[in-house]
Amino acid sequence: MPTEREDRLIETVFARHSADGDDVLIGPGDDAAMLRCPRGERLLITTDTLNEGVHFPAGTSAHAVGYRALAVSLSDLAAMAARPLWAVVTLSVPAADEDWLGGFADGLYVLADEHGVQVVGGDFVRGPLSITVTAHGAARPDAVLRRGGAGAGDGIWVSGFLGDAAAGLEVLKQRLAGTASSLSETVQKELVRRFCYPEPRIELGGRLAGIATACMDLSDGLLTDLPRLLRHCGLKGRVETENLPISDALRDFADPDDSCRLALAGGDDYELCFAVPRENEPRLKALSGELQLTRIGELHQGTGLRLTRGGRPWEPPDSGFRHFS
Amino acid sequence: MPTEREDRLIETVFARHSADGDDVLIGPGDDAAMLRCPRGERLLITTDTLNEGVHFPAGTSAHAVGYRALAVSLSDLAAMAARPLWAVVTLSVPAADEDWLGGFADGLYVLADEHGVQVVGGDFVRGPLSITVTAHGAARPDAVLRRGGAGAGDGIWVSGFLGDAAAGLEVLKQRLAGTASSLSETVQKELVRRFCYPEPRIELGGRLAGIATACMDLSDGLLTDLPRLLRHCGLKGRVETENLPISDALRDFADPDDSCRLALAGGDDYELCFAVPRENEPRLKALSGELQLTRIGELHQGTGLRLTRGGRPWEPPDSGFRHFS
């Protein structure tokens, strides 16, 4: 609920890139944005809140906060195989710091521009640092990927590497606290980048339509997220932990057991987790370009998630289910 | 980023009323909601964040918080003459208190049901108490009301009474602090109700299409909001303060000067402020049922807002522009 000065600041931040696509009939500045929905497609809507101290540490750069706030919502659209269109952004800040807001907008628009997302509205309020992004996308109804729909025998796949973001968060906290690290600067930066700048798998999501039978994004870690997909499918999952994709950077950061724990329970990776029937695997492999795709397990009749190591049942040293974060 | 227990709690809160309209193809529980946009209409999107201690006092009932969080967004749709369709809700709470969440959901759904709004998704995170509602509506493109578009000579009108909500906030704070009041219980309750349970003027907004030439909702108070409409119209506004609609309850609460100040600068009323040419006034008067509509001034060539009292220029005792709240 800002005054004229803040009105101008909002215009600077949110209307920096004019939301002037053919589909944006009214952009920021009125009581609501007015949009033309794409014909023959369905609208996908997702909303996420990021709180300082909960979803990112105090002191995280404004640029990273802006980028990441949009990334987590675009990741949900990717998981539904939707093409991103528009976002509205609410920003709660303790004070109207122009430098901070400029950095936030820079980070937000880097990603928005990369995916052609138009920021069509928002709200700017006083309060603890918090960002909510509501992202809108479109998809043909027959192309949308859901959490349910996979069958017994389908493989469980993930994109990219798991656990890097959780390691990156630890490194970021150490750096913000000024703690020395024995890790190389290159590895530290790579891990922090993986926490601060997750890449929503929009292109992959779109290409999985017709190949994957179920899909979701990994925000809370495999141990928390995969059971959700399993419940939607009404199936049991068996994951061979030795197949989890662990990056070289994570291997430098932690020993094999801790790397496995971070890959299972770390969260914040924003990779896609999806089910693929055997007969679709050749088409899936044709997709795999620079982005690694890994078969980590299989769906079976039953319920629950079973972890194995070397084919035998296995429990992680710390089961790491994060409560209500 | 909740665990299984919280997943169930979310289902209890957000999926209590099944989002199962023809237009809701996927409701809460997947990565994104999937909707069918209405044909021949445009989509309107608005988003608002309410923070405890900024937008409502600590101790406000969960029921009021839930109702009000949706009301402020619906009010934006009303100002655009849109028909509400769907909402997504993010809720940040310090702890997962089932009673509180139940009360919140009760309040939210009272209003959602009244206006046929379907809650199609949300997010539930840990943090300071804060709610963001993104509301979606539809309107025929030729019926949408904007902030700009009025002409010199058009009257400035407001719905309902102004200043009650600001008085209600004061009374609510006194009651939460246990301070005794000389006001009657009836008046106190009425004013608190006006703060906690604003009525989004959805029906009025829809009926103003073709009558009003510009429209907005009053969230921050006339002194802050009206200049926005004036800038959009490129006109000067002249408001005769003796014409401001002051309720009997507000007259009981404050002396005439303070009532005027609250009506001008108080905020939180969520009434509509709109411009109507003389020739449309008969059609406007035909609309006026139980809801009072008051002509408070007029638009002129020029810029800025001029207040008058008894026809003479007048400055309010405390100009009351609220900074960045």
In this predicted model, what pLDDT tens digit does every residue of A244-294 receive, in sequence order? 999 999 999 999 999 999 999 999 999 999 999 999 999 999 887 778 999
E strand spans, chain A: 24-26, 33-35, 42-51, 83-93, 118-126, 130-139, 155-159, 214-218, 236-240, 271-276, 293-300, 305-309, 312-313
Q: State how far Cα A116 lies from the chain centre.
A: 17
Pairing of strands A83-93, A118-126: parallel
Among A98-102, B74-78, B317-321, name the one with the lowest average pLDDT.
Answer: B317-321
Give the pair of three-digit tokens for residue A6. 């803040």
Chain B interface test: which of A36, A39, A41, A47 (most B C-beta within 10 Å): A47
The pLDDT score that the predictor gives to residue B231 is 95
Which chain A residue has the Cα nearest residue B31?
Answer: A76
Q: Over pLDDT 70: what percentage of chain B?
A: 91
Touching check for A6 and chain B: CB below 8 Å?
Answer: yes
pLDDT digits (tens, 9 = 90+) for A39-94: 999 999 999 999 999 999 999 999 999 999 999 999 999 999 999 999 999 999 99
Q: Burial letters for A129-164: b for 16+ Cβ neighbours within 10 Å, e otherwise?
A: bbbbbbbbbbbeeebbbbbbebeeebbbbbbbbbbb
Question: Given a cut of 70, is residue B322 above it in pLDDT?
Answer: no
Split at pLDDT 50, 70, 90, the class of B4 is low
Asked whether the predicted pLDDT for residue B324 surpasses 50, the reply is no
Please judge whether A2 and B324 are an interchain contact, meaning their C-beta atoms are less than 8 angstroms apart: yes
- Whether A164 and chain B come into contact, CB under 8 Å, resolves to no
Residues of chain A found within 8 Å of residue B44, distances taken between Cβ atoms:
32-35
Paired tokens of B3: 């665990």
Q: On the CB side of A52, how many CA atoms lie within 13 Å of its CA?
A: 16
Instruction: List the single residue in A with minimal CA-CA distance to B146.
Output: A30
Subunit contact A44:B32, Cβ cutoff 8 A: yes
pLDDT at A7: 66
Q: Is the pLDDT of residue A2 over 90?
A: no
- Per-residue pLDDT reduced to its tens digit, B200-232: 999 999 999 999 999 999 999 999 999 999 999
**Contact flag B322-A3 (C-beta cutoff 8 Å):** yes
Q: How far is B118 from chain A (nearest CA, A)?
A: 13
Are the Cβ atoms of A51 and B125 closer than 8 angstroms? Answer: yes
Partner-chain contact A321 B3, CB within 8 Å: yes
Cα of B59 to nearest chain A Cα, Å: 17
- One-letter amino acid at A322 equals R
Task: Look at phi and psi of residue A27 and say left if phi exceeds 0, alpha if psi is from -120 to 50, else beta.
Answer: beta
Which amino acid is residue B322, in one-letter code?
R
B15 pLDDT tier (thresholds 50, 70, 90) = low
Evaluate whether B14 touches B118 at the Cβ level (below 8 Å). no
**HSE on the CB side for B155, CA within 13 Å?**
18
B262 Cβ contact list (under 8 Å, min separation 6): B162, B163, B166, B167, B250, B254
B 197-216 near A (Cβ less than 8 A): 215-216
Cβ-based contacts of A89 with chain B (< 8 Å): 47
Please answer yes or no on whether B44 and A25 come within 8 Å at the CB atom: no
Tell me how crowded residue B90 is: count the other CB atoms within 10 A of its CB.
Answer: 26
> Which pLDDT does position A322 carry in this prediction?
42
Measured between CA atoms, the residue of chain B closest to residue A132 is B132
A98–chain B Cβ distance below 8 A for any pair: no
pLDDT at A59: 96
Q: What is the pTM of this model?
A: 0.94
Mean pLDDT (whole number) for B155-170: 97
Distance (Å, rounded) from C-alpha A222 to C-alpha A262?
10
Per-residue confidence (pLDDT) for residue B127, from 0 to 100: 96
Q: Does position A16 have pLDDT exceeding 70, yes or no? A: no
Chain A residues within 8 A of B121 when measuring between CB atoms: 45-47
Chain B residues touching residue A25 (CB < 8 angstroms): 42, 141
Residues of chain B neighbouring A142 (CB-CB closer than 8 A): none
Judge: B51–A126 Cβ closer than 8 Å, yes or no.
Answer: yes
Token pair of B307 as six digits: 């207040």
Q: How confident is the prediction for chain A on average, in pLDDT?
A: 92
Instruction: Number of A to B CB contacts under 8 A, please give it.
Output: 235
Name the burial class of residue B5, with classes exposed (0-12), middle (13-18) and buried (19+) by CB atoms within 10 angstroms of its CB: exposed
Residues in Cβ contact with B290 at an 8 Å cutoff, skipping those fewer than 6 apart: none
Per-residue pLDDT at A67: 98
A65 CB within 8 Å of a chain B CB: no
* ipTM score assigned to the predicted complex: 0.93
